[in-house]
Amino acid sequence: MQRKSDEFYMKKCIELALLGKGQVSPNPMVGCVVLDKNGEIISTGYHKKYGEFHAERNALINTDTAKTEEGTIFVNLEPCSHWGKTPPCTDIIIEKKIKKVVIGMQDVNPKIDGISVLKNAGIEVVTGVLENECKFLNRVFIKNITENLPYVVLKTATTMDGKISTQNGDSKWITSEESRAEVYKMRKEFDCIMTSSNTVIADNPTMEHRFKCIADTNNKISKDSKILSQGKIYHATKYNTPLKDGHLDLRAVLTELYKQGACSVLVECGGTMAGAMLKEGLIDEIYQFIAPKILNDNTGKSCFNGDSVNQISQTTKLTIYDTQIVSDDLLVKSIVRKP
């Protein structure tokens, strides 16, 4: 019964945490619920913006100690225990005389030791409540800290038979105007947009965004390309990036993007680069818009074209976690399963 109650409040923490989506990077999304000693909610908070107070401090700072004493707080991520841009959250938890802290997941940042600090202060700590859901919420942050790489989402738009264009490159338009509008909104959730020189040359897109990366091994795009007209540009070529088998080392490109502050990257490209990134294990998620159209021509260009496979057992496995109808199209969001 207690576990069900803990999960109820942890779900509220996750809902609160999502209110900070797009505003807190490179920090994780965190929500907090505070109960008094009688089990009544007396305060909530979430991390609203990078550089500002964390969820626990927002929830507790204006709450009287008389109300919080002997109370319980729920938080989806282990409270921080060190000074950064803001004071340690463990300090205010102790100051407010909280008796019990329920945590969704431990922090993957080795600098954080909040659980030990709280236990040493005599506070009861419960961990692992809705742990998988809490890890999924902050999957971008987890990859950043554990791999020093951005979280990579590949966006593609295809016919039902997986084609992104005809054999001569005609692709306007496979999906609906509403789906294209959805992509514009998606881009705002990412720190960087990445594309290939082939896409720039074929479509001459603007891809309006504050930070864009073009993978262009031989530096062949035109200086008049629309994509260069706006935003910060990282133009990856053989002159500033290591090569692998005669092409850009795409892991090295992503490493550089992370160094430049990109915690998340949305990749919009053709089948060649998409296939290469998939083969290298560089894609974490796929957003696939599927239009109710069939090209019915195997000479058409596929959304992934980077490997030679003889057995179905060699396919890349995905886990679908969300589907949406966008006008006439289907948007499928899936996690790429790592071998």
Residue pointed to by tokens 């927002």: 58
Predicted confidence band of residue 2 (pLDDT cuts 50, 70, 90): low
pTM confidence score: 0.91
The tokens 């502050």 sit on which residue?
Answer: 261
Indicate the Cα dihedral angle 146, 86, 65, 114, nearest 10°. Answer: 30
Quick one: how far is CA 4 from the chain centroid? Answer: 28
**Is the pLDDT reported for residue 150 higher than 90?**
yes
Average pLDDT over residues 238-261: 97
What beta strand segments (E) does the chain contain? Answer: 31-35, 41-46, 72-77, 100-105, 124-126, 151-158, 163-165, 192-196, 211-215, 232-236, 243-244, 247-248, 264-268, 285-290, 301-302, 318-326, 329-336
CA R_g for the chain: 23
**Digit-coded pLDDT (tens) for 278-292:** 999 999 999 999 999
- Residues carrying an active site annotation: 56
Place of tokens 């074209």: 305
pLDDT, position 3 = 61
Contacts of 5 (CB under 8 A, 6+ apart): none
Distance CA 240, CA 118 (A): 47
pLDDT in tens, 296-329: 999 999 999 988 888 999 999 999 999 999 999 9
For residue 1, the model assigns a pLDDT of 46
CA angle 105, 30, 28 (to 5 degrees): 85
Q: What's phi and psi for 194, nearest 5 deg? A: -120, 135
pLDDT tens profile 93-136:
999 999 999 999 999 998 889 999 999 999 999 999 999 999 99
DSSP per-residue letters across 67-112: HHTT-EEEEEEPPP-S-SSS--HHHHHHHTT--EEEEEE--S-TT-
User: What rounded mean pLDDT belongs to the chain?
Assistant: 95
The pLDDT assigned to 4 comes to 63
Work out the average pLDDT over 151-163. Answer: 97
Please state, in angstroms and rounded to a whole number, the distance separating the CA atoms of residues 95 and 212. Answer: 45
Amino acid at 141: F
